[in-house]
């Protein structure tokens, strides 16, 4: 008698099945709102635990009350209503981490958003993790070279620092952060870009810029679009930080960009109001400061005993009408180690990056700034700030003095030098050469309109000069090295095309 192979397979499955009682803790949805559910009957649930709703949709525990809890949805809520069943999974929200994420676009749960197939990551990490202790941290002493001259020269960023980029909408905040990512193409820093509630077109532009000009295979993109569930947007920065921490804890170096935390605060306020938490200033809940403090404190430079890795954060915040004293901006300024402020006035005046040198500051980055760059930067910030003030008053006349005119001409050249096209970072050697030439008066005869062409001509000359290699780690700049740098600038000036003469009136 021939046995049915299908029957044999069924018998083997029955034999292998583990029989016995299975305990499952279930609750009931009592109320559902925009992306949030009130649930009763789950007394053992923990904060951050994943819950499963009717139909397979998932959420996580956001708040706990005495008899109920509030769960934020991570999936679509179709088919879920009051009376639906909720089941505990016993697992905290976790995301895949590791090298398999490099060059991928994922959502805050690690689900693939690109067309490159499934992830190769095998490790999982919880999204909520404690920040390193004070004993585990080290001093910020190594630079993060952003390639943006105004930042590297005046407001240097160090590995392990948290430097806030803040300004009005459309003033180039994201461009500064993306330039910093592009400049890590030849460094040992892995970059993570997390988008929180941004438009899909804006995120696509960032991804394409990194794909064409940066180290795409060492960059992770975590995207929570504006159309996603509020819980997913709330989770995005924490999930991305867990991915970055894995690199830091292995002794590597990571740079994470949060774009932006103003929208993240708005999502937190939305969920807090839906969960009936008492509103405070500007309707934000009382824990809004703790929300971002526990996020940004996870960025740090670890001690050698802990591996010596670092996680540098560039959070972005948006303000309205230049109001830096608003609630969320002041919170983020007090948490971070400095801020780069972008100005709508400078942006409209075609000074880009539109960094306000008077309001911007880096509290620790100067200690990590390359010595060569620090030596030639000198009085740059003070001279430029004085120039901006003189320029404002020069509109009323009265600056006929020759010394004043000379200072205005020098200030105009500083402004032209600090101006930089988007997605075109400069190496430390190029920056040192330009600033040394400025200080030595080499740039005085160069017309303002010729500065972009001068920078373009200087890049290959600097790259071909062996004496300027390693300036980013050089302990000092000797006279011979400085002369080699300024000679490259003189050669670039000689190659500049002559400007057309102005037409005779």
pLDDT tens-place string over residues 15-25: 776 666 667 78
Q: Which of 150, 154, 167 is nearest to 351 (CA)?
A: 150
Class of domain 375-494: mainly alpha
Q: What confidence tens digit (pLDDT) does each residue in 206-253 have?
A: 999 999 999 999 999 999 999 999 999 999 999 999 999 999 999 999
- Is residue 77 over pLDDT 90? no
Right CATH for 26-92 from 2.40.30.20, 3.60.21.10, 3.40.50.2020, 3.30.930.10: 2.40.30.20
Per-domain residue ranges for the chain?
A: 26-92, 95-369, 375-494
Whether residue 89 contacts residue 52, with contact meaning beta carbons closer than 8 Å, is answered with yes
DSSP alpha helix (H) spans, 250-337: 261-274, 288-296, 327-335
Given the DSSP bridges, would you call strands 361-362 and 338-342 parallel, antiparallel or unpaired? antiparallel
E strands present in 272-347: 310-319, 338-342
Euclidean distance between CA atoms 3 and 134, whole angstroms: 69
Q: What is the pLDDT of residue 120?
A: 84
- DSSP assignment of 237-256 equals HHHHHHHHHHHHHTT-EEEE
- Beta bridge partners, 257, equal 193, 314
Residue whose C-alpha is closest to residue 117's, from 128, 130, 103, 138? 103
Reported as a single tens digit per residue, the pLDDT across 87-108 is 999 999 999 999 999 999 999 9
In 3-state terms the chain splits into helix, strand, coil percentages (rounded to 5) of: 40, 20, 40
Query: What mean pLDDT comes out for the span 43-57?
Result: 92
DSSP label at 38? Answer: E
What distance in Å separates the CA atoms of residue 463 and residue 451, rounded to the nearest whole number? 19
Nearest-5° Cα angle at 454, 453 to 455: 90
Could you give phi then psi for residue 219, rounded to 5 degrees? -130, 140
Residue 327 confidence (pLDDT) = 95
Residues marked as catalytic: 363
Torsion of CA 342, 344, 347, 348, to 10 degrees: -170
CA distance 474 to 477: 7
**Contacts with 189 (C-beta within 8 Å, 6 or more apart), sequence order:** 144, 159, 253, 254, 255, 312
Cα–Cα distance list, 157 to 141, 244, 311, 313, 363 (Å): 10, 18, 12, 10, 9
pLDDT bracket for residue 505 (50, 70, 90): very low
Bridge partner residues of 500 (DSSP): none
Taking 80 as the threshold, does the pLDDT of residue 501 lie above it? no
Q: Phi and psi of 220, rounded to 5°?
A: -115, 135
Q: How many CB atoms lie within 10 A of CB 159?
A: 25
CATH class entry, domain 95-369: alpha beta
Among 298, 270, 294, CA closest to 284: 270
What is the reported pTM?
0.91
């Amino acid at each position: 008698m021939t046995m049915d192979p299908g029957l044999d397979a069924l018998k083997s499955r029955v034999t292998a099945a583990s029989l016995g009682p299975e305990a499952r803790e279930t609750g009931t949805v009592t109320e559902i709102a925009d992306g949030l559910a009130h649930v009763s009957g789950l007394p053992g649930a923990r904060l951050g635990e994943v819950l499963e709703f009717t139909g397979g949709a998932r959420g996580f525990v956001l708040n706990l009350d005495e008899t109920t809890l509030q769960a934020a949805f991570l999936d679509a809520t179709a088919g879920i209503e009051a009376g639906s069943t909720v089941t505990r999974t016993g697992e905290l929200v976790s995301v895949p981490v590791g090298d398999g994420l490099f060059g991928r676009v994922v959502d805050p749960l690690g689900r693939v958003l690109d067309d490159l197939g499934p992830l190769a990551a095998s490790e999982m990490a919880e999204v909520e993790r404690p920040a390193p202790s004070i004993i585990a941290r080290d001093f910020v002493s190594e630079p993060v070279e952003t390639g943006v001259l105004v930042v590297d020269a005046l407001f240097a960023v160090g590995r392990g620092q948290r430097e806030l980029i803040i300004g009005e909408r459309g003033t180039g905040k994201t461009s500064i952060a993306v330039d910093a990512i592009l400049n890590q193409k030849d460094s040992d820093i892995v970059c993570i870009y997390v988008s929180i509630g941004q438009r899909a077109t804006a995120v696509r532009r960032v991804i394409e810029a990194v794909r064409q000009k940066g180290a795409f295979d060492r960059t992770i993109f975590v995207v929570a679009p504006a159309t996603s569930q509020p819980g997913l947007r709330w989770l995005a920065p924490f999930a991305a930080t867990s991915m970055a921490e894995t690199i830091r804890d292995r002794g590597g170096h990571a740079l994470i960009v949060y774009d932006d935390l103003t929208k993240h605060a708005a999502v937190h306020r939305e969920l807090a109001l839906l969960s009936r938490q008492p509103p405070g200033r500007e309707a934000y809940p009382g824990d809004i400061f703790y929300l971002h403090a526990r996020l940004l404190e996870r960025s740090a430079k670890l001690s050698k005993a802990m591996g010596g890795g670092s996680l540098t954060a560039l959070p972005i915040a948006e303000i309205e009408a230049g109001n830096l004293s608003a609630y969320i901006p002041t919170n983020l300024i007090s948490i971070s180690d400095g801020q780069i402020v972008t100005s709508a006035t400078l942006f409209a005046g075609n000074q880009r990056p539109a960094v306000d040198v008077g309001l911007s500051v880096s509290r620790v980055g100067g200690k990590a700034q390359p010595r060569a760059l620090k030596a030639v930067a000198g009085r740059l910030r003070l001279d430029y700030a004085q120039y901006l003030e003189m320029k404002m008053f020069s509109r009323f006349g009265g600056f006929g003095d020759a010394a004043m005119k000379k200072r205005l001409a020098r200030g105009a050249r500083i402004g032209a030098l600090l101006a930089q096209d988007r997605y075109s970072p400069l190496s430390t050697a190029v920056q040192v050469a330009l600033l040394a030439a400025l200080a030595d008066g080499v740039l005085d005869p160069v017309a303002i309109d010729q500065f972009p062409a001068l920078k373009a001509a200087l890049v290959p000359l600097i790259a071909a000069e062996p004496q300027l290699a390693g300036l980013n780690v050089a302990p000092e700049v000797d006279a011979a090295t400085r002369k080699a740098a300024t000679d490259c600038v003189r050669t670039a000036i000689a190659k500049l095309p002559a400007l057309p003469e102005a037409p005779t009136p």
